[in-house]
Structure 1
Amino acid sequence: MDPSAVVTPPYVAGPFVLAPFRALMMAARRIGDPASARAFARPYSGVPERLDQWEDRGQLSRDEGPALYLHEYTAGGITVRGLVGVLDVSRRATTRAERAIYPHEGIHPTQADELADRMAQMELNPAPILLVHHGRPETRELLRQVRSGSPLREFTDRAGQQHRVWAVRDPDLQAVLAEQLAGTRALIADGHHRYSAYLRLARRAPGSVGGGLAMLVDQDDTPLFLGAIHRLLVGSRVEDVRAAAEHVGLRFEHLSPGAAVDALAPGTLVVTDGSSWATLQVPVTPDRLAIEVLHEDVVPALPRGPQRIGYHHSAEDVLAHAGASSGTAVLVPAPAVDSVLRIVADDRLLPQKATSFQPKPSVGVLIRQLHDG
């Protein structure tokens, strides 16, 4: 297999299960500090001993027993809450009706292998993957009651994120949550390769690892912000995009910079090399996004390039890289979560890096040791 090939991650079958675990937690002063990344640095086989040393120095603590954790964090004015536990990945779905976890983009097998190797050597999941779903009102009420109690941890980290964490230890409460979440259908918001690494670890040692760390966010309660990831078509010119648009029958119109940016919309892309500006009208429906039209229709029709495609999370960043000799920027609109859900339910994936779910929690708030529950 071509090591650069992108493949669809396997689908996990329901029931959806988040199991309790005994969390490792970095000291508040270490969370959000870039220097803390050295705890998970090479050699990965030395990470367990390194964390033992951090624990001896008071830089890391271990919870008293297994729990599910309700983690609330605030960053950039956005508050997100999610239930954190060990995602059961032991069952593979053979039909659409069985699916509990929905990836929305493909993965590189070699990268998933490398992550699985790294986790096995470190003997831990450093951070949860992010899952989003439309939660049940009764589950929101149950978690509201959890929040009425005193948090296990409450602090502001070095990056400015505010955190509150509650431990759900009551077996009866865990059982009610398990029953309410069993029918969950969750979209992977962040962590496709880590999800695939969880699956590989489970296949390598069935029953010994039990899954991987995940945070389940109710998009109807504290939604993650879904932003666009813009494209830089390296080696392609604005006129190449115009020619491709004409070839596939799309409307391409040169405009002033301000008028072009103002026109950005679900069915309108903005194309520029920094000096020439234009809009590209694309046919979109609730089941097909502009980013799909760009990758499936426009890019294959380009008469020149692209030599590669660059991905940028902000318009300012992609525009700073655009130029007549460096490449053409394409500003794309942010997709809607429900549109992404409809696409994955229809057994399709989006192009690579089509979504940017934000904000993500700082690493170190909740860590899972593979062989400690």
Structure 2
Amino acid sequence: MDPAVVVPPHVARPVELLPFKAVMLAPDRVGDPASARALARPYRDVAARLTQWIERGLAVSDTAPAVYLHEYTAGGLTVRGLVGALRVSRRADSLGERAVWPHEAIHPEQAGELADRMWQMDLNPAPILLVHHGRAALRDLVSRIATGRPDWRYLDRTGQRQRIWAIRDEAVLAEIGDLLARTSCLVADGHHRYAAYLRLQQEHPGSAWDAGLAMLVDQHDTPLFLGAIHRTLPGALLQDLVDAATTAGAQVTPQTRHEALGALDSTHVVLTDGDEWRAVGPLELDHEAAVSWLHARVLARLAAPPTRVAYHHTVEDALEAASASAPAVLLPSPHFDQVRALVEAGGLLPEKATSFQPKPSLGVLMRPMSDA
């Protein structure tokens, strides 16, 4: 592992999502790039700035603490999950005790910067995204809540459709707590913010920082789409990548662009400099994610490694950046069960290995620490 990255500590079971009193931007402000001003430097002024926005009707503070059911629809895909203050004050000492599983390592400096920012803001500005396979009884409960009239419902500036239910009934909250107690969840988005939560909790135990804002999505209910993050490798050469992949035991086949892109599936990787194309079939990808194979078995074999790794969320973006001096590596989408099995066995994926989509718009639910 790169010495610049580390694995954050693991939160211990039970998973607890605690009620909090949300601050929400006004519907016509949610997703508006101009709304980022409310959360911009100087960070120590953010709390006062949000108070001013509430007074001007540009944001609203909920009347009482709640756990929220948040449903959003983007690009025809609907995702819903429970949003609450995730208790992070207990640390796991063994694999079996772990409640929250990061699947990527983090850069401590970046996590520290985020922790400092949240401390100055006195705010969790957005939930981290967690995914799990919940119990059928929890899915039934969430479905029943979703049949009721939402407390907030609107179309935001990005085109996301938002529906939010505030859950305050003590009996329902207790039932949710019981159904979550033995679950375990994967960090889908927000690894560095998760690590920042842990640092803030360690520095301020027994305070509101014992928890951090999180959204828990059931991958059996309304699954997030799990896509690949492709690479371009400035400073590397296509032939060197081909030689390294061959040495690693993969079958490398010259193909046309159309053939290569057609081969990009769960069993193949594509290498290209924009002119030449190779379909690469690594062995035993049923036991190893393609992105892990790339970093551990191909890039590690290069005599002249790339000067850096550039990341791209779409094939089109990667191909646009590809050239003879920066070949592209197109990766298949990983499977959720494969990622979960890897991390629950104590493993990790390389940095920026997965892209869980869609993510909720900024400003839907925020957690001010002064009201926590």
- Tell me the number of residue pairs that the alignment of Structure 1 and Structure 2 aligns: 371
User: Which deviates more, 263-272 or 242-251?
Assistant: 242-251
Residue equivalent to 2:157: 158
SS at match of 2:243: helix
After the TM superposition, which residues 72-91 of structure 1 pair with which residues of structure 2 at under 5 Å, given as runs? 72-91=71-90
SS at match of 1:119: helix
> CA contact under 8 A between 1:269 and 1:290: conserved in structure 2?
yes
> CA contact under 8 A between 1:129 and 1:215: conserved in structure 2?
yes
> CA contact under 8 A between 1:130 and 1:216: conserved in structure 2?
yes
1:330 positional shift: 0.5
Residue equivalent to 1:371: 370
SS at match of 2:7: coil
Question: Is 1:170 matched with 2:169?
Answer: yes
TM-score, normalised by the number of residues in structure 2: 0.98
Whole-angstrom distance in 1 between the partners of 2:39 and 2:365: 14
Whole-angstrom distance in 1 between the partners of 2:25 and 2:210: 23
Residue equivalent to 1:262: 262
Residue equivalent to 1:218: 218
SS at match of 1:260: helix
Residue deviations 1:94-149, cap 9 Å, x none? 01110000000000001111100000000000110000000111111111121122
SS at match of 1:308: coil
Whole-angstrom distance in 2 between the partners of 1:250 and 1:204: 48
> CA contact under 8 A between 2:249 and 2:283: conserved in structure 1?
no
Residue equivalent to 1:275: 275
Residue deviations 1:259-295, cap 9 Å, x none? 1111112221100000111111112344311111100
Whole-angstrom distance in 1 between the partners of 2:178 and 2:71: 22
Residue equivalent to 2:133: 134
> CA contact under 8 A between 2:204 and 2:210: conserved in structure 1?
no
> CA contact under 8 A between 2:15 and 2:183: conserved in structure 1?
yes
> CA contact under 8 A between 1:287 and 1:342: conserved in structure 2?
no
SS at match of 1:121: helix
Whole-angstrom distance in 1 between the partners of 2:248 and 2:171: 59
1:238 positional shift: 1.1
Whole-angstrom distance in 1 between the partners of 2:172 and 2:231: 46
Residue equivalent to 1:182: 181
Whole-angstrom distance in 2 between the partners of 1:273 and 1:286: 27
SS at match of 1:5: coil
User: Which deviates more, 3-12 or 316-325?
Assistant: 3-12
Q: Provide the identity percentage.
A: 54
Q: Which amino acid aligns with 1:23?
A: A
Residue equivalent to 1:231: 231
Residue deviations 1:229-249, cap 9 Å, x none? 001111111111112123223
SS at match of 2:210: coil
Whole-angstrom distance in 2 between the partners of 1:236 and 1:12: 39
Q: Which amino acid aligns with 1:167?
A: A
SS at match of 2:192: helix
After the TM superposition, which residues 1-373 of structure 1 pair with which residues of structure 2 at under 5 Å, given as runs? 5-208=4-207, 209-325=209-325, 327-373=326-372
Q: Which amino acid aligns with 1:291?
A: V
Residue deviations 1:6-58, cap 9 Å, x none? 10111100011000000001100000100001111000001011111101100
SS at match of 1:147: helix
Whole-angstrom distance in 2 between the partners of 1:168 and 1:245: 52
SS at match of 2:236: coil
Long gaps (5+) in structure 2: none
Which runs of structure 1 show a deviation greater than 4 angstroms over 4 or more consecutive aligned residues? none
TM-score, normalised by the number of residues in structure 1: 0.98
Q: Which amino acid aligns with 1:10?
A: P
| Distance change (3 Å), C-alpha of 1:171 and 1:260 | same
1:4 positional shift: 7.1
Whole-angstrom distance in 2 between the partners of 1:302 and 1:89: 41
SS at match of 1:371: helix
